[in-house]
Chain A
Amino acid sequence: MRLLPELGLVCLESIHMSEHNLLSIKSLSVSFGGLKALTNVDLDLNQNEVVGLIGPNGAGKTTFFNALSGLVDVSSGTLEINGKSHKWPKPYELIDLGIARTLQGVGLFPELTVLENVMIGANKTAKSGLIASALGLSGSDELRLKQRSMIALERVYTASLADEKAGSLPYPVTKRIAIARALVSEPRILLLDEPAGGLGAQDIEWMNSLIQNLASQCSVILVEHHMDVVMSVCDRLYVLNFGEVIASGDVESVRRDPAVVEAYLGVSH
């Protein structure tokens, strides 16, 4: 396997502070019945920054992504993108806001081929409508979707698997394809939910370098349990515990924060 040559170079240097945060979330709260899954969570994300969102199981990390992507109802909180205030998006509006996410686990469509999976992610770049597609008039659109998708697959070194059924592939490969599928829409913000979850050491290392490399083209919020990955790719961290941010800041200070050590690092790793 060829490793990415640009490793690590793009990461820190390319952060330029603009006037506004690319993404700014203020006092986000989500509750499920009586359970407060998120309480007054603030989170900022800058251009080309990789921000880690960590915390023990059930801390509310996936719920945070779900809130931001419209899969759960937000009880309160505000959302700003590029300094402009936005309503909390519906799931299908996410891509248009320049946000793409991967799902915890795999989340590929198992009965479609790898290429088809990625082409669905590229959907918004198609121009022709449904009727044209029904009558078979959308050939050039189809070709363009295909090309874009192949480029995305090449980015994660899985282009040779384009015609395989997604459900027939080994787990680590599907994790990469899921990232290609998110990248194909050329998002400004990428939400990764445990991209290294369930991977072996070698694949984790590979994922690690991919994420670092991604920061040159977009900003990333990373939810991840593997601390070595988190520590090496993230510029800043937010630590969630029972739905609340108990610490945030650069990696080193968070690592030394006693509350964090107690709630998370000290216990499970």
Chain B
Amino acid sequence: MINLRDKGAEVWENQGRAGRVAIAVGGIAIAASLPFMGGTILNTPIADYESVLVYPIAMFVLMAIGLNIVIGKSGLLDLGYVAFFAIGAYTMGLLGTKTGLNTWEILPIGIAMAMFSGIILGVPALKLRGDYLAIVTLGFGEIVRIVALNLGALGRSEGIQGIPTPPGIFGIEYAFDSHRIYYWTLLILILFAIWMVRRLSVRRAGRAWESIRQDEDAAELLGVPTFKYKVWAFVLGASVGGAAGVIYASKTLFIAPDNFTLQISILILACVVFGGMGNIWGVILGAVILGYLPDRIRFLSEARLLVFGLVLVIMMNLRPDGLLPRKKREKALIKKGSS
């Protein structure tokens, strides 16, 4: 099977500055024009196409980029990523209904809350490795949901209603049904997240995460403060999830614990693995497909989940490293001992 990732990287690396700008601008233009493609083959029968673009697609993409920092970059299996999404959403819900603050003012607060909870969870949990970490994070995701379910201030199972939409900005108005405006807002957040991740990947933090993922003991022996970097990856991932949560709450106007189940964590994880853990373009592609597919085949009604599962199983067998895997893995060297 051809290696799309290497092909893509080759095209990119062979471009001059102008070529790269052209590719980037072209890519952004295509992404930005998606809301106008409703009349084409892309249309989703039954579900509203433009709203599908916002949720799940764009929202999944944003969250998958965030989760990829945790899983793909530094190799930490986080099964409770939905917690950060929920914390962002509830911050928006609570502050949006109880205070005069608007979405843009709450966005940094929601991000900060998510990051803070990332530290609270990360500091004890990241002392663990592998399966143990996965179990603790899974528990954390459930705890956040159950707290929301039981805390009067958070509306229990009723959730929070009447969350305000964002105020207009630069003359653009956010009506709750102007999906494309939300979509473009998310697109900007996504672009910012991509920029941040790419920036980090080529520098010290990126190298440190990579070394931790490949061989944590060796990294530590070389003086990499592995614990600090793991918490940092966790917190950065959380910040992206929190941002997604704030926009989500401000779009749906109503949130309840049911929106933040384990299923979301698993789905986002599936996007990352399906697309190609560690490679941001793969992860984005994975999230687009897994967000889009269930709604595209909604006419199959109940059978669609079966088809969805089948597609996943078949693809993961054909391409176990995902659609666009991270840099091609070289054949492992035979570790020669001696004596």
Q: Which residues of A approach B to under 8 Å, CB–CB?
A: 57, 69, 71, 90-92, 94-96, 100-101, 103-107, 109-112, 116, 119-121, 123-124, 126, 130, 133-136, 138, 141-142, 145, 165, 167-168, 171, 174, 181, 185, 194, 196-198, 225-226, 268
Contacts and interface: CB of A to CB of B under 8 A. Distances in A.
Interface string B207-228: 1101100110111111111101
Interface in B299-339: 326-327, 329-339
Q: Which 10 A-B pairs have the closest CB atoms?
A: A197-B338, A95-B223, A198-B336, A91-B220, A167-B330, A168-B330, A109-B214, A105-B335, A124-B223, A121-B222
Interface residues of B, number: 39
Contacts of B339: 57, 197, 225, 268
7 contacts: A107-B215, A111-B330, A145-B204, A181-B222, A185-B223, A194-B338, A268-B339
B232 interface: yes
Nearest to B214: A109
A103 B215 CA distance: 11
Contact of A91 (B203, B211, B221, B334): B221
Interface of B: 196, 199-200, 203-205, 207-208, 210-211, 214-215, 217-226, 228-229, 232, 236, 326-327, 329-339
Contacts of B205: 130, 133-134
Given A109-B214, A111-B214, A123 B224 contact: yes
Nearest to A225: B339
Contacts of A130: 204-205, 228-229, 232
Contacts of B337: 104-105, 197-198
A152 to B, nearest CB: 12
Contacts of B326: 111
B208 A167 contact: no
Given A109-B210, A111-B327, A92 B223 contact: yes
A131 to B, nearest CB: 9
Contact of B207 (A116, A134, A136, A185): A116
B72 to A, nearest CB: 12
A95 B204 contact: no
A92 B220 contact: yes
Contacts of B220: 90-92
A117 to B, nearest CB: 8
Contacts of A138: 203-204
Contacts of A103: 218, 221
A124 B220 CA distance: 12
A112 B203 contact: no
B222 A112 contact: no
Contacts of B332: 110, 167
A92 B218 contact: no
Contacts of B200: 133-134
Given A136-B199, A197-B336, A71 B217 contact: yes
Contact of B210 (A111, A171, A174, A197): A111
A77 B196 CA distance: 47
Chain A CB count within 10 A is highest, among B208, B232, B236, B338, for: B338
Contact of A225 (B196, B199, B338): B338
Contact of B204 (A135, A142, A171, A225): A142
A104 B200 CA distance: 31
Contacts of A123: 204, 208, 222-224
B222 A120 contact: yes
Contact of A92 (B204, B224, B334): B224
A202 B74 CA distance: 38
B223 A94 contact: yes
B221 A167 contact: no
A168 B229 CA distance: 27
A174 to B, nearest CB: 7
Contacts of A225: 338-339
Given A136-B203, A225-B338, 9 more contacts: A57-B339, A91-B220, A92-B224, A92-B225, A109-B214, A123-B204, A167-B332, A171-B333, A171-B334
A185 B213 CA distance: 22
Contacts of A194: 338
Nearest to A121: B222
A136 B207 CA distance: 14
A126 B338 CA distance: 36
Contacts of A174: 333
Contacts of A197: 336-339
Nearest to A126: B204
Interface centre among B200, B221, B339 (most CB of A within 10 A): B221
Contacts of A91: 217, 220-221
